[in-house]
Amino acid sequence: MAVNFPPLFSRLGLDRHPRVFAQPGEGRVLSDNPATGEVIAYVSLDTPETYEREVAGAAEAFTKWRSVPAPVRGQVVRAIGEAFRTHKRDLGELVSLEVGKIRAEGAGEIQEIVDIAEFAVGLSRQLPGQVFPSERAKHRLMEQWLPLGPVGVISAFNFPAAVWAWNAMLAGICGDTVIWKPSLLAPLTALACNAIAEKAAADLGHPGVFRLVMGEDPIIGERLVADKRVPLISATGSCRMGRRVGQAVAARLGRCLLELGGNNAVIVHEDADQELALRAVVFGAVGTAGQRCTTTRRIFVHEKIAERFVERLTAAYRSTLGRMGDPLKDGTLVGPLVSRMAVEQFQDAVKAARAQGGQVLVGGEAAGGKGYFVQPTLIRAPRDNRLPIASHETFAPILYVFTYADIDQAIAMQNSVDQGLSSAIFTDSIRVSERFLNPDGSGSDCGLANVNCGTSGAEIGGAFGGEKDTGGGRESGSDSWKAYMRRQTSAINFGGGFELAQGITFE
């Protein structure tokens, strides 16, 4: 059945996009609105032939793009960032429509693109190499960083725009071309974002740098992962996906940057500013309807403050129940999950928690009706803290509450899961916070470890990523750019004498 496009399609050019249709058809995937279950549009997928065209095109464009001076590449990325700034409202709304984020979070996601573009522009004048003292007279020893090639970017549904940008803006200034394979749960956001980037680059005389391939994983995703012309696959998604992708890329000795699932925890110590902790926990656990990789999924509350803190948390959770609804409506705090399947996974997790002795303090139900809504859910672990379901990442707003007696125990419980993405402690004690961040590595085992800040809402300035089953990759700020370049070490003899390292003579 044909659908009517929403008005923002014309503002974003999606109504004229050659891959967007009002009717279903062969080789098309539908994009639906998780708040209503209604179809927004149909999008045509790639075939092996069109995939081939895109990857060959990315390889060809790379040979030109890598020769453009990095600061000039930075100017192209600047123009892209500006274009996203211009379209922030409409793109944010598209993210809300397609994956159900509330308006502020949809807009925030596009702001992240602007931010990473600005970061990349500055970096385009650095990309520093190093010079080392050589042990040989009249020799220079140095390292430089070179463009890598076409980079494959596989993104998850829950950050349908920003994750691509984290990769694409950095890869762009590094001299790489980008082949984006987005989630089929958010194809329209991908089409709109890629078209904006590609147009901004083409307007400055650099077409073909930013490319998109879309399709089912066995047809397009796995083809990209196995493609030797793509030296780096940066993949964001579940640990299950990371295991498959990691092995396939390793089999061809390619490079992988993996950003996978999290099971993030907050420790609330006895001396914590409880008001601050409460707000951070509720935002971290309920925000984005629990569909952030950094969502707070477990809290460990010191037993001395547990009763009162859990009471307050329960009250705060109850107040969010009345704030569920249309993500684009003012005042909504909790939007829908992304799909019917996600609702079923939520229901399975709540059922398992109950069977394991967990006590549902608030929520626990799917809302029913047309959209994919579930209640923000607070579950208290049994007294012995044994709740196996809490070791799994369920991509929904479920928060498991545990108590602890001493900080070592809390850190051990926090670290006891397979994933290692984000963690946080709330305390006013420097001893306790330093125990959490101990430089000997005995504190938090996560890639992100915050003090008096929640687990979600990272800034782009620092490197972002996690350890253990989260995959070990780092994206975004700091020196993450190195993942998108290849390193070359050079010894340069400017004296003319034949001198070998390690004192070796070979006369």
DSSP letter at 478 equals: T
The answer to the question of residue 261 lying near ligand NAD (CB under 6 A) is yes
- Rounded Cα distance between 10 and 177, Å, is 28
Q: Shortest approach of ligand NAD to residue 337 CB, angstroms?
A: 11
Closest-by-Cβ residue to ligand NAD is 237
Q: Shortest approach of ligand NAD to residue 92 CB, angstroms?
A: 18
Closest to 180 (Cα-Cα) out of 207, 135, 215: 215
> Would residue 453 show up in a list of annotated catalytic residues for this protein?
no
- Residue 71 φ then ψ, to 5°: -65, -30
**Cβ-based nearer residue to ligand NAD, 362 or 396:** 396
Stretch that binds ligand NAD, among 150-158, 276-284, 354-362, 367-375 (CB under 6 A): 150-158
Cα 424 from chain centre: 18
Stretch that binds ligand NAD, among 134-142, 233-241, 268-276, 453-461 (CB under 6 A): 233-241
Q: Shortest approach of ligand NAD to residue 212 CB, angstroms?
A: 12
Residues 435-464 that bind ligand NAD (CB under 6 A): none
- Rounded Cα distance between 48 and 84, Å, is 31
Stretch that binds ligand NAD, among 2-10, 96-104, 216-224, 484-492 (CB under 6 A): 216-224
Helix, coil or strand: residue 433: helix
- How many chain residues touch ligand NAD (CB under 6 A)? 30
Q: Shortest approach of ligand NAD to residue 501 CB, angstroms?
A: 41
Q: Which of 241, 282, 460, 485 binds ligand NAD (CB under 6 A)?
A: 241
Site string for ligand NAD, 415-434 (x = CB under 6 A): ------x-------------
Q: Which of 259, 326, 445, 469 binds ligand NAD (CB under 6 A)?
A: 259
Which of 54, 112, 198, 259 is the catalytic position?
259
Q: Which of 470, 476, 477, 480 binds ligand NAD (CB under 6 A)?
A: 470
**Cβ-based nearer residue to ligand NAD, 339 or 385:** 339
Q: Which of 17, 244, 255, 318 binds ligand NAD (CB under 6 A)?
A: 244
- Rounded Cα distance between 407 and 223, Å, is 47
**Cβ-based nearer residue to ligand NAD, 236 or 423:** 236
306: tokens are 């547990």
Q: Shortest approach of ligand NAD to residue 98 CB, angstroms?
A: 12
**Cβ-based nearer residue to ligand NAD, 248 or 321:** 248
Sheet order of strands, 139-147 included: 130-133, 139-147, 485-493
Q: Kindly provide the b/e burial profile for residues 485-498, where b requires at least 16 CB atoms within 10 angstroms of the residue's own CB.
A: beeeeeeeeeeeee
**Using alpha carbons only, how large is the chain's radius of gyration in Å?**
24
Amino acid at 106: G
Q: Which of 149, 172, 237, 327 binds ligand NAD (CB under 6 A)?
A: 237
**Cβ-based nearer residue to ligand NAD, 357 or 461:** 461
Site string for ligand NAD, 339-378 (x = CB under 6 A): ----------------------------------------
Stretch that binds ligand NAD, among 37-45, 47-55, 256-264, 350-358 (CB under 6 A): 256-264
46: tokens are 């790639």
**Cβ-based nearer residue to ligand NAD, 118 or 222:** 222
Helix, coil or strand: residue 68: coil
Site string for ligand NAD, 76-115 (x = CB under 6 A): ----------------------------------------
Which of 270, 293, 446, 475 is the catalytic position?
293
Contacts 24+ apart (CB under 8 A), 377-382: 377/317, 377/346, 377/350, 378/313, 378/314, 378/317, 379/350, 379/353, 380/310, 381/357, 382/356, 382/357, 382/358
Q: What is the pairing mode between strands 296-302 and 475-476?
A: unpaired
Site string for ligand NAD, 371-400 (x = CB under 6 A): ----------------------x-x-----
Q: Which of 187, 246, 262, 454 binds ligand NAD (CB under 6 A)?
A: 262
Positive or negative: CA dihedral 365, 367, 371, 374: negative
End-to-end CA distance of the chain: 83
CA distances from 396 to 103, 153, 262, 263, 469 (A): 19, 25, 12, 12, 19
**Cβ-based nearer residue to ligand NAD, 108 or 237:** 237
- Rounded Cα distance between 95 and 99, Å, is 6
- In the numeric block, the tokens 């098309």 are attached to 28
- Rounded Cα distance between 489 and 141, Å, is 7
The answer to the question of residue 234 lying near ligand NAD (CB under 6 A) is no
114: tokens are 């602007």
- In the numeric block, the tokens 């397979």 are attached to 418
* DSSP string across 227-275: -TT--EEEEES-HHHHHHHHHHHHHTT-EEEEE----EEEEE-TTS-HH
The answer to the question of residue 189 lying near ligand NAD (CB under 6 A) is no
Q: Shortest approach of ligand NAD to residue 167 CB, angstroms?
A: 11
Catalytic residue numbers read 259, 293
Residue ranges binding ligand NAD (CB under 6 A): 154-159, 163, 181-183, 217, 221-222, 225, 236-238, 241, 244-245, 259-262, 293, 393, 395, 421, 466, 470
